[in-house]
Amino acid sequence: MTEVAKLEQQLLEFEQTASKSFAEAQTLADIESVRQEFLGQKGALTNILRNLSQIDKQDRPRLGQTANSTKEKLESLYLKRKSFLDSQELKEKLKTEKIDVTLPARGKKIGHLHPLTQILSEIESIFLTMGFAPFEGPEIESEYYNFDALNFPPGHPSRDEHDTFYTDVDPSIILRTHMSNMQVRIMEKSPPPLRALYCGRVYRNEEVNARKEVIHHQAEGLLVDRNVSFGQLKGTLNEFIRLLFGKPLKTRFRPDFFPFTEPSAELDSECPFCNGSGCRTCGNRGWLELLGCGMVDPNVLRAGHIDPEIWNGFAFGMGVERLAMLKYGITDIRHFFISDIRFLEQF
Ligand code: PHE
């Protein structure tokens, strides 16, 4: 037998065994390995074609053609069988994996603002409509703006309630203990009349429990004008409470003490949950403590380069977590900071 005839014979046999193997492949994995075996780069056909160099030049084109058409035939066999197996597998899947199209869709979870951010922007927008402009300031603060400028004398016992965090670098640099650090900062930059609202994070060196955290947020407002009265402070805050709780509530002002306001008061509102008759939220008192407020102390105006003979004003400051706890009936302040999705999802 000549080399050519031998090769032709080989090709014919190859075509037959390969066709049979393709036809017998039962799975997609099978057919891929059959393809590797016969048509792959290291497959049988490649081996046969390597011997093409050993035959006479004039016979090569004919043999090359035969080889090519064998290859094409096998490739189309492969594709046919593969698409058959594909559809088999799909049918099998449809039979075994039942989909209940009546189940509710899983849906995409869309995030939302943190409850504190939500109530903060509610507070801000209420005061914005009353003409209070937003301000921002530093959390890392000097003792001067946090205490001295606000009429806290050095060593005065009123500082005891504001224990904070100090640095080794400079003991007069602290973390602000309240938003009132902004009062003199704002006065220095904005000549009266002025209405300012500023909210942010404040720090206290407290023992943590359900009501107290080392970090909390405050919203504070400051108004400086001519002939400002305590009645205007009352009217402003009553309106704020009406808008925040969605209904007018009775309020009372209890005398209190802050070094930077004179007179100073604590504002209580009738408990919106029991309308004053006493419940768990208000500890059966019928009243809720909401915020501190008062008329700006003349010494603070002076520190802000404002003449107290011409100008006066009021300030009020509230704990944002406390308001959120009251508004949403949350019983533990620590929920706001531990990022538990089961808590956050409820808002
Ligand atoms: N800064 C006070 C506090 O942290 C609250 C306050 C603000 C009181 C403004 C009066 C006026 O308790």
- Look up residue 305 and give its two tokens: 């380069």
Sign of the torsion formed by the C-alpha atoms of 242, 176, 321 and 121:
positive
Q: Are residues 59 and 146 in the same domain?
A: no
Residue pair 146/158 in contact by the 8 Å Cβ criterion: no
Burial 302-320 (b: 16+ CB within 10 A, else e): ebbebebeebbbbbbbbbb
Q: What is the pTM of this model?
A: 0.70
270 lines ligand 1 (CB under 6 A): no
Q: Are residues 138 and 283 in the same domain?
A: yes
Q: Are residues 139 and 248 in the same domain?
A: yes
Give the model confidence (pLDDT) of 37-82 as tens digits: 888 888 888 887 787 777 788 888 888 888 888 889 999 999 999 9
Give the model confidence (pLDDT) of 167-204 as tens digits: 888 989 999 999 999 999 999 999 999 999 999 999 99
Among 96, 131, 157, the domain boundary falls at: 96
Q: Are residues 279 and 183 in the same domain?
A: yes
Q: Are residues 198 and 282 in the same domain?
A: yes
More confident residue, 304 or 22: 304
Residue 8 has pLDDT above 90, yes or no: no
How far is ligand 1, taken at its centre, from the CA of residue 214, in Å? Answer: 17
Q: Are residues 200 and 54 in the same domain?
A: no
Q: Which residue's CA is the nearest one to ligand 1's atom 3?
A: 178
pLDDT at 324: 92
180 lines ligand 1 (CB under 6 A): yes
Domain carrying residue 148: 115-344
pLDDT at 66: 85
User: Considering its fold, how many domains does the chain have in total?
Assistant: 2
Phi, psi of 78 (to 5 degrees): -60, -50
Q: Are residues 163 and 298 in the same domain?
A: yes
Position 49 in a domain: yes
CATH of the domain at 196: 3.30.930.10
Neighbours of 51 (CB within 10 A): 13
Position 102 in a domain: no
Q: Which residue's CA is the nearest one to ligand 1's atom 7?
A: 317
Among 31, 66, 96, the domain boundary falls at: 96
Q: Are residues 130 and 87 in the same domain?
A: no
